[in-house]
Amino acid sequence: MVKRSHGLLRGTGIQPRPVHGRLKVRDLVEEHFLAYNAARLREACELFSQRMLRSNVTVGMSITGALTPAGLGMSSLIPLVRNGLVDWVVSTGANLYHDTHFGIGLKMFRGQPNIDDRELRKEGVVRIYDVLFDYRVLLETDAFFRKVLATPEFQCEMGTAEMHYRVGRYVRARERKLRLGRVSFLAACYEAEVPVYTSSPGDSSIGMNVAALALDGIGPRIDTSRDVNETAAIVLDAKRRKGKSAILIIGGGSPKNFVLQTEPQIQEVLGIKEAGHDYFLQITDARPDTGGLSGATPSEAVSWGKIDPNMLPSTVVAYVDATIALPILTSYALAVRRRRPLRRLYGRRQEMLERLAREHRKARNRRH
């Protein structure tokens, strides 16, 4: 005789209704994403909407992979920012560079991934898997960045958040002039005063153009230490205001580490007493067993002090292509949550940085 389980079969039974053509995204997620990675995506949507988007939670987001060339900036990232669902961002420079194409009136096109790349090169067409665009798009975007970054306001030392905020103002002005609507994620972050950082500022065409200007002795001088401290200050400020810190990770790579290293910076390096981020949500296709940071799990992050160990049951990793998961996550969140007031953290950077410095000095004095 089979022994009955004790509480193990109390979950909802699997008996979905048939899918039909009038189904909304929210209903699709809640009623039909029942198992495997579909279930993890449902859990991700629920964690993001029900807990991470509470009024006392500051949400940081990292983005990697070629999302903006595929239109995810317009479809998903801009709505997240404009509705107050993301408060600060760490992005690859490439995503911001390709986002700028749209904001200055340049076009990208759907194509096929199996075109002969030798033929594309001969015809002056660039390919990002199945996204195609004219080589002149790169040249015109490079020219835009060099012209903007050569203006007087950029002839100083600054962090990447300040550089992106100032560039975002120029992109937004171009959007308006060309009557493009809202197509640039960088411009949307400028308007919402959402600080946008790049963890590797030299690793993109934006960084390449900064470097080109440096050969002529002009352009911004990027202070990466300011970025490290500003992002840590944002997290500490959220906690000291009796709130919580949540991290939404789209992809992996260096931006993932940069949003998470804020807690080791606070605890390990600066010696300030803290417990770790409260919520961790990652959408990725990276495996954990290769040892890379992109696939590192929330439980591994606990061992570094990046995640509060008491909050580990509230973490979710969904192994889903971000180009599929991000629009679903965004649609679900907008369906179940009200718009949150914009935190406008960009304007509070210096205030938060000063708090971080004060607490660091107190911690240092206690150690000595």
Q: Is residue 35 part of a domain?
A: yes
| pLDDT for 2 beyond 80 | no
Least confident segment among 202-206, 226-230, 310-314: 310-314
Is pLDDT larger for residue 313 or for residue 33?
33
Mean pLDDT taken over the chain: 95
Is pLDDT larger for residue 302 or for residue 206?
206
| pLDDT for 3 beyond 70 | no
Number of separate domains in the chain? 1
Q: Which of 239, 244, 256, 306 is catalytic?
A: 306
CA distance between the termini of the chain: 67
DSSP 316: E
Residue 35: what pLDDT? 95
Residue 363: what pLDDT? 94
Query: Which whole-number Å values give the CA distances from 162 to 65, 195, 267, in the listed order?
Result: 23, 8, 26
Domain that holds residue 169: 25-104+154-367
Q: What percentage of the chain has pLDDT greater than the value 90? A: 87
Cβ atoms < 10 Å from Cβ of 303: 10
Q: Is residue 189 part of a domain?
A: yes
Q: What is the pTM for the complete model shown?
A: 0.95
Q: Is residue 91 part of a domain?
A: yes
Q: Is residue 360 part of a domain?
A: yes
Q: Is residue 6 part of a domain?
A: no
256 is catalytic: no
pLDDT class for 126, splitting at 50, 70, 90?
very high
Phi-psi region of 341 (alpha: psi -120 to 50; beta: other; left: phi over 0): beta
Residue 293: what pLDDT? 77
Find, among 151, 141, 142, the residue nearest to 103 by Cα: 141
Residue 4: what pLDDT? 62
Per-residue pLDDT, averaged over 180-197, amounts to 98
Residue 5: what pLDDT? 60
Q: Is residue 88 part of a domain?
A: yes
Residue 1: what pLDDT? 52
Residue 162: what pLDDT? 98
Beta strands in the chain (DSSP E): 57-63, 88-91, 109-110, 125-128, 131-134, 157-158, 196-197, 221-222, 244-250, 279-283, 316-318
Q: How far apart are CA 287 and CA 299, in angstroms?
A: 14
Domain CATH code at residue 169:
3.40.910.10
pLDDT class for 309, splitting at 50, 70, 90?
confident
Q: How far apart are CA 236 and CA 239, in angstroms?
A: 5
pLDDT tens track for 7-41: 788 888 899 999 999 999 999 999 999 999 999 99
**Neighbouring C-alpha atoms within 13 Å toward the C-beta of 179:** 0
Q: Is residue 111 part of a domain?
A: no
Q: Is residue 141 part of a domain?
A: no
The structure tokens listed for 142 are: 């490079």
| pLDDT for 75 beyond 70 | yes
pLDDT tens track for 257-280: 999 999 999 999 999 999 999 999
Per-residue pLDDT, averaged over 293-321, amounts to 84
